[in-house]
Structure 1
Amino acid sequence: MTEEISRESMEFDVVIVGAGPAGLSAAIRLKQLDADLNVVVLEKGSEVGAHILSGAVLDTVGLDALIPDWKERGAPITTEVVEDNFFLLGPAGKLRIPNFPMPPLMDNHGNYIVSMGNVCRWMAEQAEALGVEIFPGMAASQLVYGDAGEVKGVIAGEFGREADGSMGANYEPGMELLGKYVFLSEGVRGSLAKEVMARYDLSKGHCPQKFGLGMKEIWEIDPAKHRLGTVTHTMGWPLGSNAGGGSFIYHLENNQVYVGFVVHLNYENPHLYPYMEFQRFKHHPMVADLLKGGKRVAYGARAISEGGWQSIPKMVFPGGALLGCSAGLVNVPRIKGNHNAMLSGKAAAEAAFEAIKTGRQGDELTAYEDDVRSGPIAADLKKVRNVKPLWSKYGLVASLMGGGIDMWTNSLFGLSLFGTLKHGKSDAAATGLAKDFAPITYPKPDGVLSFDRLTNVAFSFTNHEESQPAHLTLRDASVPIAVNLPKYAEPAQRYCPAGVYEVVVEDGKDPRFVINFQNCVHCKTCDIKDPSQNIVWKTPQGGDGPNYPNM
């Protein structure tokens, strides 16, 4: 937009974008250090937790460091893991992988099965009690730059643009929220984080980030089959050699289970349909027996950062820092990132506090970068840094064997037989040509255990104001039909877990590429996996998107 817009501004010490575990941890720690600091948290979801989706088995090390008395304060963290299972699946059978050969870091005993949405809601209460201002339904849509090129704030709360981008009758320009430092904790592939990474070349010298697509359903099951505190992970079928990935099944309270499925997005076969792989998984006898007689009550999806240690970009830039999944701090073998997100928020807050105390602002918080690369986050991620590249290059068996040995040597001796393996090309570039791969036939969902995408999207409670500009845009509108369809069978039709993208063919007419942005659950897969890198995800107006309950 080129029109001049007059906006009011508000000044804070620290502006935080995203009320996830990283952003809320930063806010809490800042106020713990100095109650007089002015701290604001902006959340694009309709409420805190509305856009939070995670497995999740929580390692409480981050929360222990931030709020040691979280139990006494009534944190919604009560279901301790009592059983930890790993299975390798075939089409009709399973092979139990014993726990004893696995390094201790893979043990989930002492961790908790949680709803991270509810944990974040509770953390927001703790933050507000300390005086943090939290504004839900306020999407930070633009960065504000200072005269020296530093990030000095964000524009948030813009509403009322028409579909063509013009200002409607009820247009609200939003506000400039300015800070001495701006923390971006938007989660995976956030639009502002993506902008600063490009502007300041933060990925220079680091491997490209790698991603997975995580899909999750909440089921209420037969109480006779429910085993509170049981954690199960699987690998193998149905993905086989088509893609890396696996599943999780977590038994939480109220006879509910989290059923999730992760597909690594570096798969080559453009005919692969991750969502249908998830639905097919539920028909495995082990899973079908568990879910029989139950009902699905919620669905959601999001991308997961999987690059690990090698892919962490430079985390600081003039005026701000990347926190949590915006930087990619997930431990892939453990399927955990929330603990590192909290630790990163705490570390960033401490660095900002020291800087502000000495009169600094708008510079790089190098102390934060040093903490991440030498402290507990580094200790966690360095041990597992070769598991993902081994899996990507040599497959599941090599990852289990070689990755297991590598984690043991790192844990025992602090060294790796492999050194530090590099990741290959980006997930988008990994996509192969359609002509080189056979199409995959998927069984039709039965409506009992498996469901079509649009039916499931209704259980994400997603809503977007339809009159606003689409937040999913194309750099070149001709590419989907002219390039992606003949070369890659237009994989957007399949990799999107919400049915946003369609190729519509009408009698006597050329095919059309249709974007149903109202269905979007903000997973960012399209921005990541599109082989032409032609799809751009930007935040819609605040409050729109999924409204996840208990995810």
Structure 2
Amino acid sequence: MERESMEFDVVIVGAGPSGLATACRLMQIAQNTEKELTVCVVEKGSEVGAHILSGAVFEPKVLDELFSDWRETGAPLKTTVTHDEIYLLNSEQNSRLMPNAFVPKTMHNEGNYIISVGNLCRWLAEQAEGLGVEIFPGFAASETLYHEDGSVKGILIGDMGVGENGEPKDSYMPGMELHAKYTVFSEGCRGHLGKELIQQFNLDNGKTPQHYGIGFKEIWTIPAEQHQAGKVVHTGGWPLTEGASGGGFLYHADDNQVVVGLIIDLNYQNPHLSPFDEFQRYKTHPVIAKELAGGERVTYGARAIAKGGLNSLPKMSFPGGLLVGCDAGTLNFSKIKGTHTAMKSGMIAAETIAEALMAGVEGGKDLDCFQTKFEQSWLYQELYSSRNFGPALHKFGTLLGGAFNYIDQNWFGGKFPITLRDETPDYAQMAEKSAYKVIDYPKPDGKLTFDKLSSVYLSNTYHEEDQPCHLKLTDVTIPISVNLEKYDEPAQRYCPAGVYEVVEEAGEKTFVINGQNCIHCKTCDIKDPSQNITWVTPEGGGGPNYPNM
């Protein structure tokens, strides 16, 4: 079909921290050099910030670089961290407060802020638009467009108003092509176009496989008398035992709110494990339950996290574009922080592209000079010094891995003369169902613990039901013939939104996909042991609508 198209100097896919930092820095450079640049950002969420979910404790040095006057111009950084508490949860009742002297220095948060990254993105979008960036929320980039020579030409915005049967409805609106000299992909963790680009250009050649976690988050309003603005709590240990690892967090934000969450590494082995139910159990531990006592849950969400770090970072440039932020995997797992690193990667991308455009370099080239700029930045030094953090925990477990990281970070400053690697993809770690006992999770009490569907309701998730399913099965027989037989079909449990079910119809097991429940976490695309599920974008504007996550 002949489609309408628009031309820009730069198109940016995703209005998260990295994409908006890219846009802002590009326009700052354009203004400083008195050059005209046309920059467009497309965002699949219904508004900027709608799909953003992060803990989050934020390290502001990157904001000092991007907008040195952010304190005077209303940036939503209000709650300074006052103190850290780190606990090892030994069992469902017992815990040990770790002395600060024995905590890896990357876990200390002096000078940082407890923030909503969604609200930070809303503020960054205002700054970008003030600089002349065009931002289009509610439009999903569905395909990458290529020139005849194979270089990236731009993106295709997905069609709107297509029925479940694939036929146009009365509301049909064809997607538009957005062409650019350079396209920046900043879709967040496991972006579906980023995933294709990594394969298309073999960007991960020779790299350790990317590793992931699933992060849960709830916001609670608690009684004023027990609120301690700026308090940061991190935990390790229970409930993640028997082949599972990860850690929890609880942050006292502003307005008598706390955020509580659990990150579960997606290399867990037990196919009977339900990450959602592990998070519910986590809240019942006395260390956490006392903080939430008398409170009310306000919202819920979940999101995959790319945590492989430097060892898993693909080549971030290719002909016609760049990968930035969590689309590439720039999160610093040793700090449990990815916002400041994502923003820095976007700023480096902007400087690389601006330099090429100002020098008259033709669009479609591989800006591999990005790698040099990256390696000369504090971002590279940060990721290099943290390269062993995740592999140490994977290889040695929470206690021994934590001890290794303490020595690496506090004694060697991240320059321990060994680089550990984890070469097994997360999905390949899944054991068969006979290797583990079925886990009997307690029923939710409606006070601290809840069910999936009431949780999804709090995420404000909405999809137009009459549209093609955005969760694609390569082979529709595998969920029953392979995954159910070998693994008791773990999609029933690893999905945090109740999207996947196995039901019996006319005496036969059937795999059901409730795509309208999907909160866009991408866990299925990552953890399916048969690698049979591919997540693609639904109609623009669909998915969660997080208010301030």
TM-score range, shorter chain: over 0.9
The equivalences for 1:59-458 within 5 A come to: 59-89=59-89, 90-360=91-361, 361-411=363-413, 415-417=415-417, 419-458=418-457
Alignment of 1:509 onto 2:507: yes
Which residue of the partner structure matches residue 490 of structure 1? 489
Bigger drift between 100-109 and 497-506 goes to 100-109
- For residue 400 of structure 1, give the secondary structure of its aligned residue in structure 2: helix
Task: Give structure 1 regions of 4+ aligned residues with deviation exceeding 4 angstroms.
Answer: none
TM-aligned CA deviation for residue 155 of structure 1: 0.7
Picking from 515, 533, 536, the partner of 2:534 is: 536
Quote the Cα distance in structure 1 between the aligned partners of 2:273 and 2:375.
36
For 2:430 and 2:375, the matched residues in 1 are separated by: 32
1:216-258, CA deviations, whole angstroms, 9 ceiling, x for partnerless residues?
0000011111100000000111112331111100000110000
Distance (Å, rounded) in 1 between the aligned partners of 2:369 and 2:259? 38
Query: Secondary structure of the equivalent of 1:502?
Result: strand
Q: CA deviation at 1:367?
A: 2.2
CA contact 1:211–1:306 (8 Å) conserved in 2: yes
- Write out per-residue CA displacement over residues 173-200 of structure 1, whole angstroms, 9 at most, x where no aligned residue: 1111110000000000011101111100
Q: Paired residue for 2:499?
A: 500
The whole-number CA distance in structure 2 between the counterparts of 1:241 and 1:438 is 10
Q: 337-346 or 368-377: which moved more? A: 368-377
Q: What per-residue deviation string (whole Å, max 9, x for no partner) do you get for residues 427-484 of structure 1?
A: 1111111111111111111111100000100000000000110100100000000000
> Contact conserved, 1:383 with 1:410, CA < 8 A, in 2?
no
Is contact 1:88-1:234 (8 Å) kept? yes
Aligned AA for 1:93? N
Query: SS in structure 2 opposite 1:34?
Result: helix
Kept in 2, the 8 Å contact 1:520–1:545? The answer is: yes
Taking every aligned residue pair, what percent have the same amino acid on both sides? Answer: 53
Deviations 1:286-343 (A, max 9, x none): 2222212111010000000110110000101110000100010111121101001110
Amino acid at match of 1:519: N
Match 1:20 to one of 11, 16, 21:
16
CA deviation map 1:364-406 (0-9, x unaligned): 1122222223321111111111121111112111111011111
CA contact (8 A) 1:498 1:521 kept: yes
Corresponding residue SS for 1:512 = strand
Q: What RMSD over aligned residues (CA atoms) do the two structures have, in Å? A: 1.1
2: CA distance, partners of 1:68 / 1:215: 32
After TM superposition, give the deviation of residue 106 of structure 1 in Å: 2.3
**1:371 & 1:102 partners in 2: Cα distance?**
32
Separation in structure 2 between the aligned mates of residue 240 and residue 526 of structure 1, nearest angstrom: 22
1:78, distance to aligned residue in structure 2 (A) = 1.2
Give the residue type in structure 1 aligned to 2:372.
D
Q: Is the 8 A contact 2:23 2:350 kept in 1?
A: yes
3-state SS, counterpart of residue 23 of structure 1 = helix
Aligned to 2:341, the other structure's residue is in SS state: helix
Q: Which structure 2 residue ranges, 5 or more long, are not aligned? A: none
**Number of equivalences:** 543
Aligned to 1:52: 52
For 1:490, the aligned partner's letter is E
One-letter amino acid of the structure 2 residue matched with residue 41 of structure 1: V
Q: Deviations over 1:65-115 (max 9, x none)?
A: 111111111100010000111000121021001112334332101000000
Q: TM-score, normalised by structure 2?
A: 0.97
- The separation in 1 between residues aligned to 2:374 and 2:251, in whole angstroms, is 30
Provide the rounded CA distance (Å) in 2 between the counterparts of 1:169 and 1:133: 29
CA distance, structure 2, for counterparts of residue 237 and residue 459 of structure 1: 26
How many Å separate the matches in 2 of 1:54 and 1:371? 27
Rounded to whole Å, the distance in 2 between the matches of 1:280 and 1:385 is: 31
The one-letter amino acid paired with 1:547 is N
Aligned equivalents of 1:374, 1:426: Cα separation in 2: 30
Distance 1:202 1:47 in 2: 31
Task: Answer whether contact 1:235 1:247 (CA < 8 A) is retained.
Answer: yes
Amino acid at match of 2:6: M
Q: Output the CA distance in 2 between the equivalents of 1:487 and 1:337.
A: 35
Separation in structure 1 between the aligned mates of residue 190 and residue 78 of structure 2, nearest angstrom: 31
Distance (whole Å) between structure 1 residues aligned to residue 375 and residue 197 of structure 2:
20
Between the aligned partners of 2:65 and 2:446, the Cα distance in structure 1 is: 45
CA contact (8 A) 2:395 2:401 kept: no
Q: Greater shift after overlay, 316-325 or 239-248?
A: 239-248
- Measure, in 2, the Cα distance between the counterparts of 1:518 and 1:46: 15
Q: Is the 8 A contact 2:104 2:405 kept in 1?
A: no
1:241 and 1:395 in contact (8 A); partners too: no
User: What CA distance in whole angstroms lies between the structure 2 residues aligned with 1:306 and 1:476?
Assistant: 29
Return the alpha-carbon distance in structure 2 between the equivalents of residues 273 and 320 of structure 1. Answer: 38
User: Which structure 1 residue ranges, 5 or more long, are not aligned?
Assistant: none
Distance 2:250 2:264 in 1: 15
Distance 1:263 1:161 in 2: 36
Question: Is the 2:211–2:307 Cα contact (8 Å) retained in structure 1?
Answer: yes
What CA deviation, in whole Å up to 9, does each residue of 1:246-274 have, x standing for no partner? 11000001100000111000011111111
Q: 1:54, 1:410 → 2: CA distance?
A: 30
Structure 2 Cα separation of the partners of residues 61 and 368 of structure 1:
21
Query: Match of 1:330, SS?
Result: coil
Matched letter for residue 451 of structure 1: F
| SS, match of residue 100 in structure 1 | helix
Describe the SS at the equivalent of 1:541. coil
- 377-386 or 206-215, larger mean C-alpha shift: 377-386
The answer to whether the 8 Å contact 2:138/2:540 transfers is yes
Q: TM-score, normalized by length of structure 1?
A: 0.97
Distance 1:505 1:283 in 2: 34
Tell me the secondary structure at the aligned position of residue 395 of structure 1. Answer: helix
The residue type equivalent to 1:21 in the other structure is P
> 1:166 deviation in Å?
2.1
Structure 2 residue matching 1:511: 3-state secondary structure: strand
Counterpart Cα distance in 2 of 1:471 and 1:194: 15
Quick check: 2:224–2:256 contact (8 Å CA) kept in 1?
Answer: yes
Whether the aligned pair in 2 keeps the contact of 1:211 and 1:265 (CA below 8 Å) is: yes
Residues 36-90 of structure 1 show CA distances to partners (whole Å, capped at 9, x for unaligned) of 2000000000000000000000001211111111111110001000011100012
